[in-house]
């Protein structure tokens, strides 16, 4: 339960750290540095422990998850909060279960009544959240930020489904480190090839502090707590973090960054989270 409380609060704070970091440097470069340093912590630990390296098909799973979960989902969501508020990014990030239901439907699976009701409620909640942002939709940067954030949830949904389908017996913590390493190399290659990176000397202290927080709290301690909670708590309990993260991000975003926190955003966020609860409930029952 302590691990779950840690995950519920601190993963919500990482949205603010990302928002602060990307104010001063390219977003994908920040994601690459964060993932590389996080990978170093995991991999050095398991090298010291002389843990066996993955073999055969385990590498295929690790590479695919590094693309879906870290290069695309984490990279795109980090890029997205450069143009939208951290609280809004967190609310959008929470809707990935809707994609799982939609993908399952197109794969020929029958949708339960609660899944459909939950999707409709969540969609209505998102509409309420965006009510106060209608004027911002005329801004190309805001549109781009929303697009990136929604695309990040889609890749995370595919990653979640692939993890469930191809779950291997390989050490999940070591696997995380290798996924981070592979994705960081790909992100470094992309930012270098496109000329969108800056020299390390040009990165200000504020961004380095953000990266340090994201690595230590987001990539190491909270991921360890997350996997520990998954292994020791029932699914319906361990999934509670998904509903609390956006609440933490919205409240702290308003308090620290003076991001908008209106009655409509509060009601819309609550309605969205309730709809997501119904969707997750239907997925767990299946």
Quick check: 135 pLDDT over 80? no
pLDDT tens, residue by residue, 31-80: 999 999 999 999 999 999 998 898 888 898 899 999 999 999 999 999 99
| pTM for the model | 0.86
Residue 18, pLDDT score: 94
Cα–Cα distance for residue pair 9/6, rounded to 1 Å: 6
Quick check: 131 pLDDT over 80? no
Instruction: For the beta carbon of residue 227, count every other beta carbon within 10 angstroms.
Output: 17
Q: Which of 42-51, 86-95, 155-164 has the highest mean pLDDT?
A: 42-51
Residue 190, pLDDT score: 95
More confident residue, 105 or 284: 105
Cα–Cα distance for residue pair 277/227, rounded to 1 Å: 20
pLDDT tens, residue by residue, 161-195: 887 766 656 788 898 899 999 999 999 999 999 99
DSSP result, the chain: -HHHHHHHHHHHHHHHHHHHHHTSS-HHHHHHHHHHHHHHHHHHHHHHTTPPPP-THHHHHHHHHIIIIIIIIIHHHHHHTTTS-HHHHHHHHTTHHHHHHHHHHHTTPPPPHHHHHHHHHHHHHHHHHHHTTGGGGGSHHHHHHHHHHHHHHHHHHHHHHHHHHH--SS-HHHHHHHHHHHHHHHHHHHHHHHT----GGGS-HHHHHHHHHIIIIIIIIHHHHHHHHHHHS-HHHHTTHHHHHHHHHHHHHHHHH-----HHHHHHHHHHHHHHHHHHHHHHH-
**Among 203, 280, 242, which Cα is nearest to 21's?**
203
pLDDT tens, residue by residue, 1-29: 899 889 889 998 999 999 999 998 999 99
245 falls in which pLDDT band (50, 70, 90)? confident
- The answer to whether 126 and 270 are in contact (CB under 8 A) is no
- Domain span at 138: 2-285
Quick check: 239 pLDDT over 90? no
263 falls in which pLDDT band (50, 70, 90)? confident
Structural domains of the chain, count:
1
């Amino acid at each position: 339960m302590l691990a779950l409380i840690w995950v519920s609060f601190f993963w919500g704070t990482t949205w603010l750290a990302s928002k602060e970091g990307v104010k001063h440097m390219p977003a994908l470069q920040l994601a690459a540095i964060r993932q590389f340093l996080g990978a170093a912590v995991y991999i050095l630990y398991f090298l010291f422990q002389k843990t066996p390296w993955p073999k055969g098909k385990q590498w295929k799973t690790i590479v695919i998850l590094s693309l879906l979960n870290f290069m695309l989902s984490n990279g795109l969501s980090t890029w997205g909060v450069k143009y939208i508020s951290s609280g809004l990014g967190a609310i959008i990030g929470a809707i990935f279960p809707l994609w799982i239901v939609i993908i399952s439907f197109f794969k020929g699976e029958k949708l339960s009544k609660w899944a459909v009701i939950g999707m409709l409620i969540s969609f209505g909640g998102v509409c309420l959240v965006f009510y106060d942002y209608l004027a911002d939709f005329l801004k190309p940067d805001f549109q781009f930020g929303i697009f990136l954030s929604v695309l990040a949830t889609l890749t995370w949904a595919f990653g979640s489904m692939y993890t469930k389908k191809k779950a291997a017996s390989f050490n999940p913590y070591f696997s995380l480190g290798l996924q981070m390493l592979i994705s960081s190399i790909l992100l470094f290659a992309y930012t270098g090839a496109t000329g969108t990176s800056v020299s390390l000397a040009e990165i200000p202290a504020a961004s380095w502090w953000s990266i340090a927080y994201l690595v230590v709290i987001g990539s190491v301690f909270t991921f360890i707590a997350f996997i520990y909670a998954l292994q020791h708590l029932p699914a319906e309990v361990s999934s509670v973090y998904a509903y609390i993260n956006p609440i933490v991000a919205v409240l702290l975003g308003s308090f620290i960054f003076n991001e908008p926190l209106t009655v409509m955003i509060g009601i819309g966020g609550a309605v969205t989270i309730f709809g997501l609860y119904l969707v997750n409930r239907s997925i767990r029952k299946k």
